[in-house]
Structure 1
Amino acid sequence: MDVQGEAARILGELRTQADPVRAENEKRYLKSDYAHIGVPVPALRKVAAPAVKSKPTRDEVVALAQTLWDVTDEGRPVHEARMAAIEILVRRVSLLERRDLAMAERLVRDSASWVYVDMIAEKVVGGLVLRYPDLAEVLDAWVGDPYMWIRRTAVLALLAGVRAGNPDLERLDRFGDALIGEREFFIRKAIGWVLRELSKKDPEWVAAWVEPRVGVMSGVTLREAVRRLPAEDAARILGR
C-alpha cells in the first residue's frame, strides 16, 4: 500500500462530499474545535473501505491510521480524517499486536470527545484485550488515570468481552466500585452502559450488583443499568 497516496485519496474523496451546513451542525452538536468537512458516517465508511480491502499489513494499517489522525486544516485536526483513521483500525483490528495498545492509548489521550474515544475503547482496546487477556492489567491502571477519557476507555473496553459472551465480571465489579462516586457524566454513563449490555445476557448478576448500591449510584448509571432488566427486578430496584 502507498500509505501517503491512500491517505490523500481518502481525504480527497471526503472533501468532494463536503456539506458546510452539516459540518456546522455537527461541530455545534459535538461542541468541537476541530475542522469539519460535513460527511455522514455511512459515506465516510464507504470512502475508507477500499483501504482495508486490499489486504494491508499491520504496519500499513497503523501508518495509514496515524497519517489520517495527524491531518490538520489551519492547525486544527480534521474530524472526518480522524473518524476514517478509527474506521480503518476497527476494520483491521485482527492485524494489531499487543504493542498497539500503546498506540490506542495515544489516540485516546489525543481525543477530547466520546465520538472518537468510544470506538477506540470498545473495538480497538477491547479487541486487543480479548486476544491478549494479560493486557487487561493495563486497564487496572487506566481506571484511576487523571484523564477522564482514559478512565472511560478502561470501562468501555469491557464491552468487548460482554458482547463476546466472555465478560470480565471481576473487573466490572472492581471498576464499578472504584468509579461509583464519579462526578463526570461520561464515566457514570459508561458504567451504566456496560451494565445494561451485560443485563441482556446475565440479568441476575446485574440486579445483584446494582441493588445494594442504589443509595450511592448516580441516577444516570442506575437508569442505564436497569433499562434491560426484567420488569419486576427493575421495579424493585428503582423502588428502593
Structure 2
Amino acid sequence: MSDAGDFMDLALQRESSWRRAEEAEARHGGGHRYYGASVGAVRGTVRDALRRHPGMTHDDITALSSELWEVPVFERRLAGVVLLQSCVRLLTNTDLTRIEGFVRSARLGALVDPLAIDVVGPLIEGLDVVGRVRADSVLDRWVRDPDGWLRRAALLSPLRALRAGAGDWPRFVRHSRLVLESPPRLSHEGDGDALAAAAVSVVLAETAKHRPELEF
C-alpha cells in the first residue's frame, strides 16, 4: 500500500466499533465488510490524509481512490468517495471510466449515490465544452446500460446542478423517459428498473422544492 493508503486504513481501523459494524451490515446488507467507523471519522481521515500529503496530483488522487476501493470494506470505499469529492476539481472526463468501475462493484446506494451526486455531477459541470460533450456521451451510454446501478448513477448525477438553478433539465427528462419507458430489465442482483425509477423520483422531488416551474 502507499503511505497515504496505509495511513487511512489504519486510521479507519482505529475508529472501528463492532457495534457500529453490526449496525452498518444490518442497514446496508452483505457484499462488504465493515470496520464500524463513523461517517465523521471517515471524513476526518480523508481530511487528515490530505493534510499529511499536500500537493497530491490528479494521478495521486485517482490511484489512491482505486487503492482504497480495491478492498471491499465499506469505510475504505466511502473514504475513496470522500477523497474524490474533496478533489473533484482535479478530475476530468477520462476519470468516468474509473468511476464506472466503482459503481458497478459497489452495488450499494450509500456508495453509488454520493459518487453520482457529489463526484460525477460536479466533475461534469466543471468541464470545458469538449470535455462536457465526451462526458455526456458516457452518461448516454450509462443510462442505456443493463446495470440498474449505472442507470441510477446517470440519473442522479445532475441533481446538485438542477437544485442550484443550473443543469440540463431537458437532458434529464430525456434520460428519465428512456429509462421509464424501456421494457423491463433485471439488474445483476434484482430489479434494476426500480433502482433507476427511484432515482428519477428523487431528482423530481428535490427539484420541485427549488424549481417548481420545471415540467416533466
TM-score when scaled to structure 1? 0.78
Letter in 2 for 1:83: L
Check if 1:91 corresponds to 2:86: yes
Letter in 2 for 1:60: D
Q: What is the alpha-carbon distance in structure 1 between the residues aligned to residue 202 and residue 157 of structure 2?
A: 11
Task: After TM superposition, give the deviation of residue 173 of structure 1 in Å.
Answer: 1.4
Is 134-143 or 148-157 further displaced after alignment? 134-143
Check if 1:116 corresponds to 2:111: yes
Cα pair 1:34 1:79 within 8 Å, conserved:
yes
Q: 2:205 aligns with which of 187, 196, 204?
A: 196
Aligned residue for 1:39?
Answer: 37
Check if 1:63 corresponds to 2:63: yes
Task: After TM superposition, give the deviation of residue 35 of structure 1 in Å.
Answer: 1.1
4+ residue segments displaced more than 4 Å: none
Secondary structure at the aligned position of 1:110 is classed as: helix
Q: Give runs of aligned pairs for residues 166-181 of structure 1, distance below 5 A.
A: 166-181=166-181
Task: After TM superposition, give the deviation of residue 51 of structure 1 in Å.
Answer: 2.3
Q: What is the alpha-carbon distance in structure 2 between the residues aligned to residue 167 and residue 200 of structure 1?
A: 15
Aligned residue for 1:30?
Answer: 28
Q: 1:50 aligns with which of 28, 48, 51?
A: 48
Instruction: Extract unaligned runs of 5+ from structure 2.
Output: 185-190
TM-score when scaled to structure 2? 0.86
Task: After TM superposition, give the deviation of residue 101 of structure 1 in Å.
Answer: 1.2
Cα pair 1:19 1:39 within 8 Å, conserved:
yes
Distance 1:50 1:68, change over 3 A: same
Task: After TM superposition, give the deviation of residue 66 of structure 1 in Å.
Answer: 0.8
Cα pair 2:151 2:196 within 8 Å, conserved:
yes
Aligned residue for 2:124?
Answer: 129
Task: After TM superposition, give the deviation of residue 17 of structure 1 in Å.
Answer: 1.6
Cα pair 1:162 1:198 within 8 Å, conserved:
yes
Q: 1:81 aligns with which of 71, 76, 79?
A: 76
Letter in 2 for 1:107: F
RMSD between aligned residues: 1.6
Q: What is the alpha-carbon distance in structure 2 between the residues aligned to residue 52 and residue 196 of structure 1?
A: 35
Is 172-181 or 12-21 further displaced after alignment? 172-181
Task: After TM superposition, give the deviation of residue 161 of structure 1 in Å.
Answer: 2.1
Cα pair 2:165 2:211 within 8 Å, conserved:
no
Task: After TM superposition, give the deviation of residue 99 of structure 1 in Å.
Answer: 1.1
Q: What is the alpha-carbon distance in structure 2 between the residues aligned to residue 188 and residue 160 of structure 1?
A: 18
Letter in 2 for 1:33: G
Secondary structure at the aligned position of 2:106 is classed as: coil
Letter in 2 for 1:17: E
1:172-211 deviation digits (Å, cap 9, x = unpaired): 21122112256633222210111122212321224xx2xx
Cα pair 1:142 1:151 within 8 Å, conserved:
yes
Instruction: Extract unaligned runs of 5+ from structure 1.
Output: 72-76, 210-240
Q: What is the alpha-carbon distance in structure 2 between the residues aligned to residue 7 and residue 22 of structure 1?
A: 22
Letter in 2 for 1:200: K
Check if 1:187 corresponds to 2:196: yes
